[in-house]
Structure 1
C-alpha cells in the first residue's frame, strides 16, 4: 500500500488503486446515469440541483468550474441562468468548465448536447488543469466522495478560485434523525442495488455508491475539512432532512 488506506465503499483499498476502481464503476453506469438518478431519488435530485444553481446565481462573464460534472446537468443549468442574466443586463458570456475524471461520463454528457458556454475536459479533481485564482465559482455535485483524497480536492478547489470566489458542494450526507436514517438505510441497501440490477444490469456499482455515501463524513466533519482547506464562512444546508446537503465556503 502506497499510503494511508482510501475508501472504496465499505472496503479500504490502496490509494493508488481507488481511481481505477471508481473509473470502472462510472464506465459501467455512464449511459444510464441520469435515468438512474431519477429512479433512485424519484426525481428529487433535480430539486436539489435547482437549489444549488439558485444559490450559485451564475452571472455573465463568470468562470465556473463544474468539477465531476460528467453528464452536464448542472452546467446546463448554470449556462441558462447566466444567459438569462446576460439578456437582462448585458455582459460577456459565462465560461463553464466541466472537468470529470471519467471519459465515459464526459462522452455521455456530450451526446446529450450542451450550451455554447460549456467546455468539457477529462481531468482530476486533485490536479485541476486550471491556473491559480482563475475561477469565480467551483461546484462539485455528488462527486467529492469518489475522489481518493478529499482534502486534496478541497485544497485544489481553493487554489483555482479568485478572491471572493464561492465554493459549493452538493453531496449525499447523514439524515438528521434516527428514524429517517433507519428508513433511508433500508431503502438504500435493499432498493437501490435492486434498481441498478434491473435497469442498468449492474448491481455491484450501485452497491458501491450506497456504501460510499455511508463512508462520507457527516455535515459538521465536512465543514471542518472545508475550513482546513482555506475557505472562510464554511457551512451547510440540509436537503430532505439531511439525505443530501449543500456545503459552501468563500475564498477570501
Structure 2
C-alpha cells in the first residue's frame, strides 16, 4: 500500500501491479487478467466502486455532451463491454456512432452481446486492436473516451499520441480513471477496502482473486492527477484539466485537439 506511484516520466510500461516486469511483457499479463474476468467484469465494477462507477460514467458522458447528429463519431477505447458506448449513444438520442475498441476479444464479445440485446447494434461497431496502434486514419473522430482502461495500457504516452492523431481538429479526449485519493481519512478507508476486501470479493464472484489484486495494485501505481494531466499535455492536447470524483477515488481528465 506504500508503493510509489509512477510519474509523468513513465514507469507503467514495466509495472504489472507492484511487480516489475520486462518492457513488452505487461500486455500479455493484462490480457490474461481480462480474459479471466470478462463475464463478471461489470458486476465486479459495482463491487469495487460500491456502485459509484455508474455515477462517474454518467458524469463523464454528461461532460462529453455528445451531439445529436448522425455524423458525430466517438472512439471508446478499452471499452469492450460497452458501458460508455451505450451511454453515449443514448445521450445522442441514438444518433451518434461509437466505435468500441479493445485489445481483448473476450471483453468485446460481452459488449456485442449486450448491444444486440439493447437494440443498439446499428450505432456501434466493435474493433479488436491495440490502443498503442489504432487502425484508423488521422482526424477520424470527434471524441476519444477511455474509462478505467488507460492504466492497463503499457505505453500510455504512445496511446495518448495515437488519441491525438485520430481526433479531428476541435476534438476532445476524456479519460476516466481511478486516481489519488485527496480526502483525509477516506484514503485510509479506501486502502483497507482495496487491499483487504476487493480481492476476496473477486474470488467469491469470479473464482479468481489474483486479477483483482493486480487491478487494485495498478491503481496505486498510476500517476496522480497532476502528473497524468502533464502526460496529456505532452501528447499535444490543449486546455487540459481534471475533476476529482468522490474525493479523488476517480478523476476525469479532459483535453482538446486545437
**Equivalent residue, structure 1, for 2:147:** 141
Q: Distance in 1 between matches of 2:114 and 2:169?
A: 34
RMSD between superposed Cα atoms in Å: 1.1
Query: Which one of 22, 47, 65 corresponds to residue 14 of structure 1?
Result: 22
Structure 2 stretches lacking a partner, 5+ long = 1-10
SS of 1:96's equivalent in the other structure is strand
Q: Distance in 1 between matches of 2:42 and 2:92?
A: 23
Query: Which one of 64, 78, 89 corresponds to residue 88 of structure 2?
Result: 78
**Equivalent residue, structure 2, for 1:90:** none
Q: Distance in 2 between matches of 1:113 and 1:234?
A: 32
Matches within 5 A, 1:96-175: 96-114=98-116, 115=120, 116-175=122-181
**Equivalent residue, structure 2, for 1:89:** none
Q: Which has the higher contact order (CA 8 A, sep 6+)?
A: 2
Shift of 1:183: 1.1
Shift of 1:16: 1.2
Task: Tell whether 2:69 aligns with 1:58.
Answer: no
Q: Distance in 1 between matches of 2:213 and 2:137?
A: 37
Q: Distance in 2 between matches of 1:94 and 1:184?
A: 37
SS of 1:31's equivalent in the other structure is helix
SS of 1:19's equivalent in the other structure is helix
CA contact (8 A) 1:141 1:169 kept: yes
Give per-residue Cα distances to partners, 1:191-234, cap 9 Å, x unaligned: 10010011111000000000000000000000100000000010
Query: Which one of 224, 231, 242 corresponds to residue 218 of structure 1?
Result: 224
TM-score by length of 1: 0.93
Task: Tell whether 2:233 aligns with 1:227.
Answer: yes
Shift of 1:178: 3.7
- What is the number of equivalent residue pairs in this alignment? 241
Shift of 1:12: 1.3
Q: Distance in 2 between matches of 1:117 and 1:185?
A: 39
CA contact (8 A) 1:6 1:149 kept: no
Q: Distance in 2 between matches of 1:180 and 1:94?
A: 38
**Equivalent residue, structure 1, for 2:8:** none
Shift of 1:15: 1.9
Q: Distance in 1 between matches of 2:65 and 2:115?
A: 22
Q: Distance in 2 between matches of 1:40 and 1:166?
A: 28
Q: Distance in 2 between matches of 1:6 and 1:133?
A: 31
**Equivalent residue, structure 2, for 1:250:** 256
TM-score by length of 2: 0.91
Q: Distance in 1 between matches of 2:242 and 2:152?
A: 20
Q: Distance in 2 between matches of 1:12 and 1:40?
A: 24
Q: Which runs of 4+ in 1 moved over 2 A?
A: none
Q: Distance in 1 between matches of 2:160 and 2:115?
A: 29
**Equivalent residue, structure 1, for 2:6:** none
Give per-residue Cα distances to partners, 1:137-157, cap 9 Å, x unaligned: 000000000001011111110
Shift of 1:113: 2.4
